Amino acid sequence: MQVDFYHLTRDPADQLVPMLASKSLDVGKRLLLLAQDESRRRALSDALWSTDPASFLAHDFAGSGREAEQPILISDQCAAANGASYIILSDGLWRDGALNFERAFFLFVPDQIDHARTVWRELKAKEDVIPRYWKQDGGRWVEGP
């Protein structure tokens, strides 16, 4: 499995999540979007609706009763009731349940760098995990060393 570490140094998660979600859907993958805090989940939902005024990224919240039909499910738990194979951990908190997915996107801010480094070391030691690091370079994302 692949884990992509995204170091948010310039733009907040609200700006990156819609891009990652769109790209996931483009390759036919369903997505689970995690955030521990309810207000954070609501903000991410708003971002999925409003990032591109010409379109929106269909989604719903866990517990709605319509989880199975959603291409993107927003939750605070690593339970993919929508059959997601990709997961975005948008709040900088690693959950080992993410290892049950085909691909994970782990977003973190500079204040969470120590936690991210610990997670990187732990995942790097696993034979079946490929960690990759992404950083912001101006207005784009580039893979780091």
Q: Where exactly are the structural domains of the chain?
A: 2-143
The CATH number of the structural domain formed by 2-143 is: 3.40.50.10110
Q: Count CA within 13 A, CB hemisphere, residue 17.
A: 34
Higher pLDDT, 56 or 121: 121
71 near 31, Cβ under 8 Å?
yes
Give the model's pLDDT for residue 6.
96
User: d(Cα 58, Cα 4) in Å, to the nearest integer?
Assistant: 23
Q: Whose CA is closest to 24, among 125, 109, 102, 118? A: 102
Give the C-alpha separation, 29 to 27, whole Å. 6
**What is the pLDDT at residue 52?**
65
| Residue 112 confidence (pLDDT) | 96
